[in-house]
Amino acid sequence: MRVVQQPERDQFDLAAVLYALSDPTRLELVRRLAQDGERACGTFDVCATKATLSHHFKVLREAGLIHTRAEGVYRFISLRRRDLDARFPGLLKAVLKAAGAPGR
């Protein structure tokens, strides 16, 4: 099984986070994770192919926005809210508010 690379909190780069959030599809994925919590990869109803969705998850994961957890053949995605808030206080809340999502 391939190991998924995920940065530590102190490795988060603001430019990478902002780049990841600049795409409407990725922003929608983050908004849904903020609203619903952890979800399986295949449960996101977005207008994108499986390969495109995988690419979006990779960009979000490498920027530090999401965490991917493997359980058998399934992959579960969760928002790294605590890490993001610790590294960039208020950023996620402001982005979610601007995107029309609850900032929690």
Q: Summarize pLDDT for 9-61 with one digit per residue, the tens.
A: 999 999 999 999 999 999 999 999 999 999 998 898 888 888 999 999 999 99
Percent of the chain, pLDDT > 70?
92
C-alpha 70: how far from its chain's center? 15
Q: What is the pTM of this model?
A: 0.89
Tokens 């109803």, located at residue = 45
Residue 42's pLDDT is what? 86
Please report the pLDDT score of residue 100 as a whole number: 81
CA atoms within 13 A on the CB side of 75: 16
Quickly tell me which residue has 């530090």 as its tokens.
64
What number of other Cβ atoms are within 10 A of residue 72's Cβ?
Answer: 5
Residue 99's pLDDT band (cuts 50, 70, 90): confident
For the domain made up of 12-98, the CATH class stated in words is: mainly alpha
The three-class DSSP label of residue 15 is helix
So what's the pLDDT on residue 28?
93
